[in-house]
Each structure stands twice: as C-alpha cells, then as structure tokens.
Structure 1
C-alpha cells in the first residue's frame, strides 16, 4: 500500500490535488490549470507520479515549486479585505440588488427567491435575461448586471492568453471601473453597456441606446481610464463594451476609445506587443490592492 495519499483542494481560483504522507505532511501538489506537478523533498518523483497517475490528464511538467516572483509576494501580503481579485463582475450591483430583495421590494429578482446556490451561473443569467424580456419595467440594474457578467466572463477567458482581469473596482466618490484588463495589448478600462437587441448610435461623446436619451458614455469611459492611469502610473485605454446590440453605428470611430461588441472581446487574445509578462504581473499586483485606488 502506498504511503502517500491524494486530497483535492479548491480555493483562491485554483484547482489542485495535494499529495501528503500519512502524517499529513504535504510533499507535492498537482495544479490542474497549469498542468504542473510540484515535488518537495519529502518524497520521490516516481512515487508522487504513481500516486497521482489516476488523476493526471494530458502532458504535465514535473519539478520543484517555481520561485515566487515579486508580484506573487505582493499578492500574498495583501489583507483579504484589501484584495480586489475575488470581486465578481458587477459586485456592487450584486450588493444593491441583494439589499432590494432582502427588503421585499418589487425590484427583486422575482418571487422565486434568487440564490447563488440555485442552478449554474449560465442558468442564472438566462433566468435574469428572460425575466427582463418578459417585464422590461423591472429594475434596470438587472440588465446591467447581466451585461457585466457577460463581459466579465469573456474577459476572464483571456487569462490563457496571458491577460489578468479585475472586476468592479471601487473609486472615490462612489464611481467604479466595471472591468480592468491587463495583458499583452496593454491596460484596458472597460465600461459595459447593455443594449438587449437595440440599436446603438455613437456621436462622441454621446451614446444612444434604442429610443432612450443620449448618455455621455464615452466621456465616462475616458474619465475611468484617466483615473486608472494615475493609479497605476501606466497608459490605460478606455473601452466601451456593448452587449448584444441589434446594430452598432459608430462612424467615425473615436480615435482613443475602443468600442467593441461583446462577441469581439475574444479577439483581444491575438493582440500584443505592448506589455511583457513580468510587466503584466507587476501591474496586476498593484491594481488588485484596494489602497492604490484611494487617491484618484
């Protein structure tokens, strides 16, 4: 019988299998996301691989744990209350709508009693979208939350291409940056605009959605990028991400603001030439600290 045991662990965005001795001492772990088996000095490589064999998928890299970078050390030193990395897309809207629901307001998620434990994330988004379409008089924050979740999900999928993403960054004065994406193509401050199959017209700085009055979304997007640039001491480009527009008229396109449909977000993975991996990690470590945003 093997003297090693394998235990799964989930947390901090990682999915790992830990290999330990019978007394509980950890001697190795397998990070499923990176395909790496890190082996400590308490057990042999072959013994560890034998214990993990039923769980390994695809090619794996085996070796000692990598040396932590300065950015890794900065992240480890953050107090949980100051770390913005766990924020969900639309974190502030979640809090607002949860308070409405708790108060029994008609603006809640509906009589079914929404709970984060009910169904998958995709199922919850579909239910919110369906309820909005059935009753457009519902709290418009529901549609805004769904849009932020849609853009947030697409941005999170860029991590395999070297991007790091933060959501719902609080700024002084009750303002927020919907999403901050840091990657090979630079730093992007992303403002989300729900369109819900309506026509979107852009006449810089105003944006009109359907028949609603024009709103200066481009001015707000630029303002958020300016504040992010001061906080990070780096160039930050404003982005307006439009979710499910029936038509998008933005001619001439503003020279300084990217206006993207939600379906165009994945194309960012093919862009690069601005930031190196070390720069990305350093900026991400700075941006995830709540304190860096307090004076912008």
Structure 2
C-alpha cells in the first residue's frame, strides 16, 4: 500500500508526504515520509497506535494516513488454466525504486536503514513521571532527603566527633548543579538535556545531552582545589590511588547506546564526557582519545557541533530517553 498527500507543517511550507507499507522483524507498519525519505510518523497496523516523530506534521500525517488507508488493497486475479509465464527479471540500477520503503528517520536522502533486530518503537505520549522534568542532581538530592542525619548526628558532625558520611553526596550535588547550568545554555543551539536518569537503585546517569552534534553521556566529578590526571582507563586525584573514571564513562555511554538503539532505526553514536568541577585544569594523557575531558565552561565547545542528527532524530531520541521505562533493565 502506498499513497501521497500534501500537508502543511505548522509554521512551514507545504510538503508532499508519502505513505509506504513496511513489514519486517514481525512489524506491520505504515510510514509517513517526507520526499527526502525522512519519517515524520508511523502507524502500527497491528495495534493501531500512531507514533509522531515530528510534531509539525501531526495533522498532515493523519490526513496522509487516512488517504492511504482509503485505497483498497489489490485482490489477486482468479486462477487461469494456461501455464504460468516465466518470471520477469527485476531491473536494477539508478532510479529503480527500492524493494522496501525506508525505515524511520533515514539519515540521508535515498538511504534506507533497516531497524536493528531488537528494534521497538518509541513510547507514545508524555510519560509520568517525565525524566525531562528532572533537576540536575535530583537523585543525590533525594538520597540526602531520605537518609539525612538526625539532629544528634548533625551535632556530632559539627563537633567533629563523627565523620560526615554524606559530605560526598553534597559535594556531588553541587557539581551536577554547576554542570547542569552550563548544559542549559546549549538549549538555544538546538540541544536537549535530561538530568539524573536512574539506571538502578544505586546508579544513575548524571546528564544525557542530545543535539545536532550527536548524543553525549556526561559524568560529573567535583574535587574542589585538587589536581586531576586522566589516563586511558584510570584517573588520579592529587596523585592519589587510581579511580576508574574514564572506564566507567565509556561503559555508561555504551549502555546508553544499547538502550536507545532499541527504539531507533537510524544509526548514531553515544560519546562519553568527563567533567571535573572546581579542580585545577585536568592533565590528560596523549593516548586518551575515547573520552572527552572538560571543565564546566568547556562544555560550550559542544554548541557549534552540527551535521550528525536531524531535528526529527533529536526529537525522537529525546522522546525515547525521557521515558523511565526505557531505562529499566531487560
């Protein structure tokens, strides 16, 4: 089944939307694509659910789907007694239509990217709770509020009779708030950020940044007034024992990629970033090329990065990432 319809994006020009059927990996869908192959919506014909990846074309996509679904499916001709003709060879070469329609959000005109084998569509609607509403350091703030010291413990800490077991949480909270403020400045350049994504009861992702330049996981570390050296897998604070900051940052980015790609039929990468707050400028080993190491103000260097994700792909990834169910272990 295929059809075309003319639709108007909100605040944009008239675009010709094309509707194509797609069946693979157990899915049966109708995709609504722009002329360049970029998907703006798809309809799951098994469940009837509609996923809109570009809200500007919501009404136009509905109109296109209504037009396409009104076209009757062709019926097979009755069997005939004469022998079958030999099969015709399918022509190949430039200009030949593709055997199957492009997957959602094709990265370039004319390129069809099939979904991964474990592909699942993006969750529909605004989740409750919505991770996009998280404030920087929300996870640490909740821990402090739930397990804060009693009045007696605060007195003993003040008198230096007992160590403050939550000092590291307060230090980390301040660091995440500083980094969150810097990431907020990137919004005017088309970037979106989600803070404090809970991955398990004892582990969270400090920040996830999605924008024209790609996807970045940002791990925040705060060590006021101290020196930092970062190697391939380990970091040292004030020449102290090795800490696995770079290795953990890579693992976090790999986990984010595995999680998000289940809902995305277009290729993308996730890049790890380490941000050290209130430290001396970090010294980075020349061999360290997989993890970006910044101080907070250096995050502004991400703003001009472009050409990796389209606006529709950014919206799709952000929609997937803001659902708590996306990050639940499978």
TM superposition score normalised by structure 2: 0.56
Residue 139 in 1 paired to residue 157 in 2? no
Residues in 2 aligned to 1:292 and 1:105: alpha-carbon distance in whole angstroms: 41
Residues in 1 aligned to 2:272 and 2:179: alpha-carbon distance in whole angstroms: 15
Residues in 2 aligned to 1:263 and 1:198: alpha-carbon distance in whole angstroms: 17
Residues in 1 aligned to 2:285 and 2:322: alpha-carbon distance in whole angstroms: 35
1:204 deviates by 1.9
1:177 deviates by 0.9
Report SS of the residue matched to 1:96. helix
1:292 deviates by 1.0
Match of residue 271 from structure 1: 305
Give the 5 Å matches for 1:53-92: 70=53, 77-81=125-129, 83-92=130-139
Report SS of the residue matched to 2:180. helix
Give the 5 Å matches for 1:30-41: none
Report SS of the residue matched to 1:101. coil
Match of residue 221 from structure 1: 249
1:106 deviates by 4.2
CA contact (8 A) 1:198 1:247 kept: no
Residue 186 in 1 paired to residue 220 in 2? no
* Runs of at least 5 residues in structure 2 that lack an aligned partner in the other structure: 1-10, 12-50, 59-121, 262-267
Residues in 2 aligned to 1:105 and 1:232: alpha-carbon distance in whole angstroms: 46
1:107 deviates by 6.2
CA contact (8 A) 2:175 2:222 kept: yes
1:140 deviates by 1.4
Residues in 2 aligned to 1:275 and 1:170: alpha-carbon distance in whole angstroms: 25
1:92 deviates by 0.9
Aligned-pair Cα RMSD in Å: 3.1
Residue 99 in 1 paired to residue 133 in 2? no
1:84 deviates by 0.7
Match of residue 237 from structure 2: 209
Judging changes above 3 Å, is the alpha-carbon distance between structure 1 residues 174 and 136 closer, same or farther for their aligned structure 2 residues? closer
Judging changes above 3 Å, is the alpha-carbon distance between structure 1 residues 183 and 106 closer, same or farther for their aligned structure 2 residues? farther
Which structure's residues are more often helix, by fraction? 1
Residue 286 in 1 paired to residue 314 in 2? no
Residues in 1 aligned to 2:319 and 2:326: alpha-carbon distance in whole angstroms: 10
Report SS of the residue matched to 2:315. helix
CA contact (8 A) 1:107 1:139 kept: no
Judging changes above 3 Å, is the alpha-carbon distance between structure 1 residues 274 and 200 closer, same or farther for their aligned structure 2 residues? same
TM superposition score normalised by structure 1: 0.62
* Runs of at least 5 residues in structure 1 that lack an aligned partner in the other structure: 1-36, 38-67, 112-134
Residue 154 in 1 paired to residue 182 in 2? yes
| Between 98-107 and 178-187, the greater mean CA deviation after superposition | 98-107
Moved over 4 A (4+): 71-76, 105-108, 135-138
Judging changes above 3 Å, is the alpha-carbon distance between structure 1 residues 213 and 166 closer, same or farther for their aligned structure 2 residues? same
1:23-48 per-residue CA deviation (whole Å, 9 max, x = no partner) reads xxxxxxxxxxxxxx9xxxxxxxxxxx
Match of residue 278 from structure 2: 244
